[in-house]
Amino acid sequence: MSNYTAIREWADEKTADKTRIVVGLGTCGIAAGGNKILDAVEKTLANNDAIKADVVSVGCIGICYKEPLLDIEIPGKPRLSYGSVTARDTKEILENIFLNNKYEHKKALAVIGDETFEGIPSWKEIPFFAPQERRVLRNCGFIDPEKIEEYIANDGYAGLSRALVEMTPAEVIDETLDAGLRGRGGAGFPAGRKWSIAADNIHTYKEKNPNSDAFGYVICNADEGDPGAFMNRSVLEGDPHSVIEGMTIAGYAIGATYGYIYCRAEYPLAIERLKLAIDQAREKNLLGKNILGTEFSFEIKLKEGAGAFVCGEETALIASIEGLRGMPMPRPPYPAQAGLWEVPTIINNVETLNNIPVILAKGAEVWAEKGTEKSKGTKTFALTGKVENTGLIEVELGMSLREVIYDIGGGIPDGKEFKAAQTGGPSGGCLPASMLDLTIDYEALAKAGSIMGSGGLVIMDTSTCMVDVARYFLTFTQSESCGKCVPCRLGTKRMLEILTRITEGKGKIEDIALLEELAPSIRDSSLCGLGQSAPNPVLTTLKYFREEYEAHILDGHCPAGQCKALITYTIDEVDCTGCTLCAISCPVDAISGAKKELHIIDTDICTRCDTCRQVCNFDAVLIDGNLL
């Protein structure tokens, strides 16, 4: 019996036939009040001796707009999920199920899994889940991320076992190459090719430095810095072992002895769960010396980032681990040639590494069945912004933007119209309605002027100002520019000044040409991806929404009604009931009017804080004469 079989048997036994009450406690679940649900579960159990179940907290299953979630698993029955639950619902649901054998409830959301249950729809019938293909998120929201046995019982570490026991390192690299897995951090470089270059360099390094402490490093880039993206956080919080397994397989493939996980300090829960997972893996001999009884040894250390977007860039990340300012270096030499402390190093994103165990466990051929010819597999996205169903999703590459936004996302809320989809964060671009049928793959997105990026997908409606969005991203890249390359340091600053000027109504028509002149200079003369891609949000908005720039400059008008200097708030004389709510709420006392009479806003005093419009129950507050 191999070492893995023994571990698997232990895990299966430990997890078999359990009645479980599951609460989603990823960061978003906690923010939505998940802890109150957990308290309610524990209280109900304490008050009812007849209810016997394990209480389990899991990571995010992705359906964020239905948080907090409560799931019930009873042996012999499918897993039932209840959404948007309150503490009172929790008590009711648990007592109904365990004391009265009644499963229906107004908050019943879906049956999770392949089975069916009368009276509750299958998750395959829920539009949010139906078109999704869950591979990266295979365990997120299903297993307790703090229990290694649950990961193992779901085929966890099977890929590592196959690699170590049945394959040579070269065969592991070939399998990854065959799968066609491309880097999920955004740029899309083939993972297998990166590994193969590193493996050759490690071989040479070993010959030259036989007494070195380390011959190669595997770094997991968990410095998810794009604002509006949380895919990596969810994986780290919900399935930390998948990343550890992926790194260990990578280590074996290239001949590395150490791994580092460089994780954002803003993700405290992810860090906590990673630390625990590393300890558990070590305890079960899935990490450390002579893994699974083989010759291969590998250690993983955790490094917390300190809040610098540029550290997502490989050479800057390495500088940061070395204790320096995280500034990029010219390449070559590439990290695979001379990386951390000049030792050959590979850096892979969380999602890339998470895919590795699946490739090894199921084989490259099965893995590559999904996707397009050049973009294989699936991709996770954080679907957010002005869309009905927000959440973490995973789709087969090649799906159209329209399917993602309208089928999974459920379209635009409040009957408004779609304006743009933003992919790739500050390095990406804004795609207009005419591109809704674009397929999601590396080439198509790049051709449209955006990038795949790490997976942020922010939807914008007609109340989003595209000039302001460009200004927003430039504010970000300008403040995150490390300052090393002059075109990036000063170029982004000048671009930001121009964009700010336009949003303030002080722009000139020549400014558009100036932006178009600055963009290629910044792109072509910056060392790293931050500067090279910083102009993308400006270029795509200029390309697809030029008329909005012109409206700001020529007409002094913000079509979306967002740019404070260009808008005026008024109260509609027909709809105003004189309820006084706006006047009471106005922080600067700019609204006057007697009870039950029309109220008036003094535009000289008004700060455009939008409070009156948000508190008005009668849609009587207008921006530039329009109801937004």
State the maximum Cα–Cα separation within the chain, in Å, rounded to a whole number.
88
Part of the chain binding other proteins (CB under 8 A), chosen from 38-46, 89-97, 115-123, 453-461: 453-461
- The rounded distance, in Å, linking the Cα atoms of 297 and 320 is 26
Helices (H) and strands (E) in the chain, counts: 24, 18
368 near other proteins (CB under 8 A):
no
Could you tell me which residues come within 8 angstroms of residue 488 by beta carbon, excluding any fewer than 6 positions away? Answer: 481, 522, 526, 530, 531, 534
627 near other proteins (CB under 8 A):
no
- Choosing from 95, 304, 516, 575, the residue that interacts with other proteins (CB under 8 A) is 304
Cis? peptide before 68, omega within 30° of 0: yes
Residue nearer to other proteins on the CB measure, 58 or 469: 469
Residue nearer to other proteins on the CB measure, 421 or 576: 421
Applying CB under 8 A, the site for other proteins has a residue count of 60
- Choosing from 132, 354, 390, 526, the residue that interacts with other proteins (CB under 8 A) is 390
| Helix intervals (H) in 465-568 | 466-480, 486-503, 510-524, 529-533, 536-544, 546-554
607 near other proteins (CB under 8 A):
yes
Residue nearer to other proteins on the CB measure, 378 or 454: 454
- Choosing from 80, 158, 229, 553, the residue that interacts with other proteins (CB under 8 A) is 229
614 near other proteins (CB under 8 A):
yes
Give the nearest distance from C-beta 23 to other proteins in angstroms: 16
- The rounded distance, in Å, linking the Cα atoms of 552 and 555 is 6
Part of the chain binding other proteins (CB under 8 A), chosen from 83-91, 123-131, 318-326, 514-522: 318-326
Give the nearest distance from C-beta 472 to other proteins in angstroms: 5
Residue nearer to other proteins on the CB measure, 524 or 602: 602
Tokens of 560: 């979306």
- Choosing from 25, 64, 218, 291, the residue that interacts with other proteins (CB under 8 A) is 64
Give the nearest distance from C-beta 445 to other proteins in angstroms: 17
Q: Which of residues 457-516 bind other proteins (CB under 8 A)?
A: 458, 460, 464, 469, 472-473, 476, 482
- The rounded distance, in Å, linking the Cα atoms of 57 and 35 is 10
Instruction: Give 376's strand partners.
Output: 371
Q: Which of residues 274-303 bind other proteins (CB under 8 A)?
A: 303
Strands 258-263 and 299-304: parallel
- Choosing from 210, 332, 587, 625, the residue that interacts with other proteins (CB under 8 A) is 587
615 near other proteins (CB under 8 A):
yes
Instruction: Give 450's strand partners.
Output: none
Q: Quote the Cα angle for 337-339-345, to 5°.
A: 75
Strands 429-432 and 345-349: unpaired
CB distance 2 to 161 below 8 Å: yes
Residue nearer to other proteins on the CB measure, 7 or 343: 343
41 near other proteins (CB under 8 A):
no
Residue nearer to other proteins on the CB measure, 10 or 472: 472
Q: Quote the Cα angle for 366-367-368, to 5°.
A: 95
The mark string for 332-351 relative to other proteins (x by CB under 8 A, - otherwise) is: ---------x----------
Part of the chain binding other proteins (CB under 8 A), chosen from 278-286, 323-331, 344-352, 544-552: 323-331
- Choosing from 24, 251, 326, 339, the residue that interacts with other proteins (CB under 8 A) is 326
- Choosing from 153, 222, 358, 382, the residue that interacts with other proteins (CB under 8 A) is 382
> Residue length, the chain?
628
CB distance 402 to 409 below 8 Å: no
Tokens of 187: 């740029």
Cis? peptide before 344, omega within 30° of 0: no
227 near other proteins (CB under 8 A):
yes
Residue nearer to other proteins on the CB measure, 244 or 327: 327
324 near other proteins (CB under 8 A):
yes
Q: Which helix (H) or strand (E) holds 122?
A: none
Nearest-10 crossing angle of helices 240-254, 231-238: 100
Tokens of 419: 């304006």
Tokens of 577: 């009931």
Residue for token pair 């048997």: 9
266 near other proteins (CB under 8 A):
yes
Q: What are phi and psi of 162, to 5 degrees?
A: -60, -45
Q: How many CB atoms sit inside 10 A of residue 219's CB?
A: 25
Part of the chain binding other proteins (CB under 8 A), chosen from 64-72, 366-374, 519-527, 565-573: 64-72
Residue nearer to other proteins on the CB measure, 299 or 610: 610
Which parts of this chain interact with other proteins (CB under 8 A)?
A: 27-28, 30-32, 64-65, 67, 224-230, 233, 265-267, 303-309, 320-327, 341, 382, 384-386, 390-391, 422, 425, 456, 458, 460, 464, 469, 472-473, 476, 482, 585, 587, 607, 609-611, 614-615
